[in-house]
Amino acid sequence: MEHAGIILNIMKSRRSLSHVDRKGRARMVDVGRKRPTLREAVARSRVDLSKEAFDLVRRNRADKGDVLAVAQLAGIQAAKRTSEMIPLCHPIPLDVVEVHLDLDATACAVLIEARARTRAPTGVEMEAMAAATVAGLTVYDMVKAVDRRAVVGAIRLIEKRGGRSGRFRR
């Protein structure tokens, strides 16, 4: 297995992957002994649209309805179901998930920011990332009839706080 060799080489480096055992196999991390702490993460994504599609979203004239409202709800729902989509992700209680969508008229883009917060023994980064991603995919789904060239991208973690590794800020 080529994957295992690559993973084993990575494991030999100073840092190791928490979701990989010593033999390079995927595993769920045991967080049972970790104390729940306040954790928060912020992720962003972006959907680049044609002028026509952007104008439909801006004017709330898409055939499928209010693109921004539906995408916001889809993002929140995705955060709540992250552990069902990502196999090694722990189900965690979410205190709050916020998804904001803004329009950038100059770039004909929808800018998405998702924030998730929990009090749990493991982080909430994947929930924020899932929210930002699925909100973007939902924008695409709602405009694809007029813009199949729309691009969902720039998905990234912006910030995370809490837990043993402390704070990360892009």
Q: Which residues are catalytic?
A: 141
List all residues 6 or more positions away from 81 whose beta carbon is below 8 Å from its beta carbon. Answer: 130
CB atoms within 10 A of CB 14: 4
- Crossing angle of helices 125-143 and 67-80, in 10° steps, is 150
List all residues 6 or more positions away from 80 whose beta carbon is below 8 Å from its beta carbon. Answer: 94, 97, 127
Residue whose structure tokens are 């992957």: 17
